[in-house]
Each structure stands twice: as C-alpha cells, then as structure tokens.
Structure 1
Amino acid sequence: MTTRRGTYSFDNDDPIAALRHELLAEILDPFTVERLEREADLTGRRCLEVGAGGGSIAAWLAAQGGQVLATDLKPQHLRAGAGYRVLRHDLVTEPVPEPPWDLIHARLVLSHLPSRVDVLRRLAASLVPEGMLLIEEWASAIRGVVLAAPDASAAELVERYYDILVGQLLPANGNDPAWGCRVHAAMLAAGLTDVTTEVRARSWAGGTAGARLIAVNVEQQRAGMLAAGLTERELGRLCELAEDPRLVVRGILTYSTVGHRA
C-alpha cells in the first residue's frame, strides 16, 4: 500500500508479513468476535471485510453464515476455499465495491491512510439502512508502555524503540497514531447513528503475541530505526526482549467503534 506521504509501513510483500497477520489475529480476534456477536446476526448478511490481511475475520464471518467479500491491496495472504470471496482493491482510489452492505469491518486499516476521513464517509454511505460499520484501531500515541523489565536499560530501550516507531516512522508514512480516538467523532460527522466505542488493552509479556510484534516491527522497520539512531546491537536486544517473559509491556489501546446508517 502506498500513501501520499510515503510507503505503507507493514507491506504484505515482506517475508515476515504472514507472521504479523498471525500475531494480530491472536491479539485482536477475540475482541472483534465479541463485538460482532453482540451487535449483529450475520446469517445471510452481506459482509465487507476491508484490508482483510490474513483473513481470520473474513473466515469467521463466513462461518457465521455471512456472504463475505474480503478485500486488500495485496491479497496474497487470503486463503482460497475459506468461504469468502477475495478482491484486490485499492480503498483510496477505487469506489467501495458492490454496495450496499449489511456490515463493513475494517481493522488497523484507516489509520494508515491520509484520506482516512473520506474513506470512512464512503464506507458509511455504502451501508444499507440500519447497516453497521465497525472500525477498530489502535491509539498508539499514548506513551509509557513498559510495565516490567529485566533491568533499567532494557526498559529504556523498549521505550525509545516505541517512541521512534510511533513518534517518527509511522507518521512519516501517513499513519495517525491517535486515529483510534478520533473514529467516534468521524462516524457521527458521517451521519451514522447509535455510535458506541469500547476500549480494551491488556499486558503483553515477552513470548506472547503482543510482545513478539516488537521483533516483527524491528524486521519491517529496520532501516528507519537505524536511521533514527538505534544500533544493530540494540535491535538485536529488542528481538531478544520480545521473547523474554521478564519484559511486560502495556498492550496498545484498541478502540472498537460501531455506527449504524440511519
């Protein structure tokens, strides 16, 4: 995916992208499924999974009886024969495919798009009356992530890594680290009703999916982190800490926002 300001930070062409999708599914799928189960009966409903990544939620929607279209700019990680259709689609430059939809879901997608507000409006307009839009995003701008660490130098290194990733590298590629906090207001501005937001986070110890994302991020953003002042030795230490249960970090706040078309 490309943006007007740079290149998408976590490209699906990267060899480690499949692992990223697996870790994100392990972290986020339980919350997503809980929200969907509570909000909608999916039997026979037309469901659009935007930026479907590894396809875990698209497969779950199909298993609940939904008629599912999974889209991604680079859909190579979406499995054939998983009960959903796949479409290569550019959410920024192309119209929302095949409207109207009963349910549209996008997770960790719009925060990477400089035109995110316009995209949200187009998604909202592509719903049937009373159709549901579920947007899930991280509010990653909140600092202070280390809850416990093997020593003070490890804690300082993880905090510095996080500040570089969230404060420099992601925004340089068009990401809004505070977008999760802004979705609720954007849905109201788009004319959606019954808008509700739930926020969730938990601790991530080294060796768990959340902490292991540190090593994946290092792999995908190595050049930028080196340019920002981290050394190869420090990057190696971060990858070690990602597997060390003595490191415990606060999970990134997940903002799950639902709105309905009037």
Structure 2
Amino acid sequence: MTTSIEPGPSRYSFDNDDPESVGRHSHLSNILDPFTFQRLGTLGDLAGKRCLEVGAGGGSVARWFAEQAGPTGDVLATDLNVRHIPLDAGFRVLRHDLVAEPVPDGPWDVIHARLVLLHIPQREAVLARLAESLAPGGALVIEEWATEFGNLCLAAPDDEAAGLIDEYRDTLVNRVLPGRGNDPAWAARVHATMLANGLVGVDTAIDAASWPGGSPGALLIAVNVAQLHDDFIAAGFTEERIQRLYAAVQDPRLVVRSHFTYSTIGRRPGGS
C-alpha cells in the first residue's frame, strides 16, 4: 500500500528540493546501506512486523524493511519532504515533521533513523518520543555520524588537496552545520540517551572506511558543498577553492576517511 503525497517545504540542512539531493541520496545509500542492513539483520525475523523508517530520504532502507516484513507486515517511510521516496515499493509513505507532529501511530516493532537526529536541536526529546512509540520488545535503531574528529585525508596528490579536505571539514562541521542545529558529537551520546529513556540491551557498533577520489564517499563532499554553497561562501570558502575541491574529490589519488558511523540499538522492555 502506498500513499501519494505532494512534496512539502523542507527545513532540513540538505533540502530535498535541491537538484543535488538526488546524488546525495544515491551516495549515502551506496556507502551506508551495507552496514545498516547488517545491523538491522541482528534484530531477527521481521516477517509480519511493523517498521517505521524516519527521515527515509531516498527510501532504500524502507524498501529493505518491506522485503523483510513481507505481505503481512506494515512499513511506513516518513520524511519532511517525501519527493525522493518511491510510492510503488511495497511500503506506505507519509510527509511528516518529526519535531512538530506526534510519532505516527504505532506501536512499532522497529523504528530506524539514520543521519536524522544529529540535525535536529530537539533530538533528545524526539528520541524519547520514538522510544515511547515502540511495542514491548520493539527495537529503536539510531545511526549517526560522529563528525567532530578531524584528519579525514589519508592520502592526497599534493599538500593543497589535503588542505582543501581539512578546510572543507572544518567549515562544514564547525561553522556551517552548527548554525543549522547540528551537533557533531551527538552520535556518542545516543547510547546513554537510550538508557536514560528506559531502553534495555543497548548496543553500539561503530563503522568507518576509506574512500578514494571518484567514489560515492568522496563525491558526497562535492554534493554537500554544492547544496550549502552560499553558506560555504559566507564562511570564507572562496569560489576558486570550491572548484579546486570539486576537482580533488574526483582524483583517485585522493583517499579520505569516512566519518565514524555509530549504530545504536535499544529495546523497549517486555515482549516475548
């Protein structure tokens, strides 16, 4: 079952109405889905389960949920702007504001959010509401990037390319995103926040990888800058250096480290 909804306005840092958002969702799916599916696979048999995908983006995780839950399950994909979520992939779609609106009616057996709460200033209150919306024994899965760590460049064709990566990371993490409500250190606090909200069996796994120039991970850098171009210019990142950065991330001699992905799973007490 699908629900057709016209796209609405977005307040998210990386606006789904931006043409660059198509590439962003594709890159994120390529670099994050394998680890996400590995983690979700530890939840056991999801056949017939009710699964909520929060901030579904391009819908790749919701599609995986639909395949696992099967015809007897119920999967709902939500986003502030749903324009990139397919409407014919076996799950329901809902335009939804996670901050201003109640969590969609549950209770849910699984709730998953990836790279969502770190962008929301009310992240702790939202996590509490998500935890309350779980069925007894249900699992909350929160996956976030810890972006406070520097030294992203592992190899570069020259010092200038390495410096561009350092400047990009400093501009994005310390100047641009904090002004939009992002918390680069939130990922490491998710575990304790789940415990504080009464979840049990809380477990965190951390993943990272290297990305050569021209790969989805490196090209995501260019997409990020393109979507936040005016913010980068306002922060002092010149147009000339932006163009050089675009060239650098396509050079296979460049190798960058991914951010650390913290995947934290907690369960509501009860259930069989």
TM-score, scaled to structure 1: 0.97
Choose from 121, 126, 139 the match for 1:132.
139
2:161 is equivalent to residue 157 of structure 1: no
Per-residue deviation, 1:99: 1.4
Name the amino acid aligned to 2:241: E
Could you list the structure 1 runs, at least 4 aligned residues long, displaced by more than 4 angstroms after superposition.
Answer: none
1:44 partnered with 2:48: yes
**Residue of structure 1 equivalent to 2:258:** 251
Residue in 1 aligned with 2:231? 224
Would the aligned equivalents of 2:9 and 2:80 in 1 still touch at CA under 8 Å?
A: no
Alignment of 1:15-164 (within 5 A): 15-64=19-68, 65=70, 66-164=73-171
CA RMSD of aligned residues (A): 1.3
Q: Any idea what the Cα deviations from partners look like across 1:27-73, whole Å, max 9, x if unmatched?
A: 00000100111222110000000000000000011011242000011
In 1, are the aligned partners of 2:56 and 2:78 still within 8 Å (CA)?
A: yes
Preserved contact between residue 46 and residue 102 of structure 1 (Cα < 8 Å) = yes
Distance in structure 2 (CA, Å) of the matches to 1:101 and 1:152: 50
TM-score norm. by structure 2 comes to: 0.93
Q: What is the deviation of 1:8? A: 2.6
Deviation per residue, 1:200-251 (Å, 9 max, x gap): 0010110111000111011011111111111111101111111111111111
Identity %: 59
Distance (whole Å) between structure 2 residues aligned to residue 141 and residue 225 of structure 1: 18
> CA separation of 1:2/1:161 partners in 2, compared to 1, >3 Å: closer, same or farther?
farther
| Consecutive unaligned residues in structure 2, runs of 5 or more | 1-7
d(CA) in 2 for partners of 1:40 and 1:206?
37
- Alpha-carbon distance in structure 1 between the residues aligned to 2:198 and 2:160: 49
- Equivalent-residue separation in structure 2 for 1:247 and 1:111 (angstroms): 28
Question: Distance between the aligned counterparts of 1:48 and 1:258, measured in 2?
Answer: 14
Matching residue's letter, 2:37:
V
1:111, 1:235 → 2: CA distance? 25
